[in-house]
Structure 1
């Protein structure tokens, strides 16, 4: 899960890809990392948004960073279920930065 997230995060930084592809890659990398943290804590969830909400408990991530993941989760759902993708480069950059921080925190866990 972590390895696949690393690959996705690396690819998300490829500016040659479309915004939608980069966002999808960064979001799914973040989700995979958050899910890995949840599982490392001994929990499972079938709700995508819960893995982000639990980050304050699983890796002690601050609520401001969790909020970025929540916003991106909402944007992902809008794109996935309504077909609307709003291009927001600053949000994508913030998502990638937060995912990198999350990667560092997950790597410190005993997985």
Structure 2
């Protein structure tokens, strides 16, 4: 992929052959977190944290499926247009979620917008489906 190869050239991504076991573990972790995020009675903070972690696991799995690795959380979301064909508008929502997560983690400020949480869960479900449609790794 030309765009991802360009990110390798500027040291934002690394080439690394995909590993089936690693990929499946990331997908499994994402599914567990996504399911947990939808448990009735959880606080919106917990739901957001779980859904964000699920989205990240799925995005990282997609990147790994294509043979790339990144240490940057936001970059795995930005690559979703190339790895899974996700629209720019949707990965930008994930970028907003990333910024929200950072405010909570590093500045102790977390105010969850119910609409953003709903969009996060919806997009994360879409990522799960898109991943399931990728050919099986050997």
What's the TM-score bracket when you normalise by the shorter of the two chains? over 0.9
Could you list the runs of 5+ residues in structure 1 that have no partner in the other structure? none
1:74 aligns with 2:99: yes
Kindly name which structure, 1 or 2, has the bigger radius of gyration based on alpha carbons. Answer: 2
Q: Which of 19, 25, 39 is residue 64 of structure 2 equivalent to?
A: 39
In structure 2, distance between residues paired with 1:61 and 1:87? 24
Q: TM-score, normalised by structure 1?
A: 0.97
Moved runs in structure 1, 4+ residues, more than 6 A?
none
Partner of 1:28: 53
Q: TM-score, normalised by structure 2?
A: 0.78
3-state SS in 1 of match to 2:68: coil
CA RMSD of aligned residues (A): 0.8
1:3-61 CA-partner distances (Å, limit 9, x unpaired): 11111101111231111111000000000000000000100001111100000000111
Count of matched residue positions in the alignment of Structure 1 and Structure 2 = 111
Shift in Å at residue 87 of structure 1?
A: 2.2
Could you list the runs of 5+ residues in structure 2 that have no partner in the other structure? 1-25
In structure 2, distance between residues paired with 1:15 and 1:25? 13
- Structure 1 window deviating more from structure 2 (35-44 vs 8-17): it is 8-17
1:5 aligns with 2:30: yes
3-state SS in 1 of match to 2:63: helix
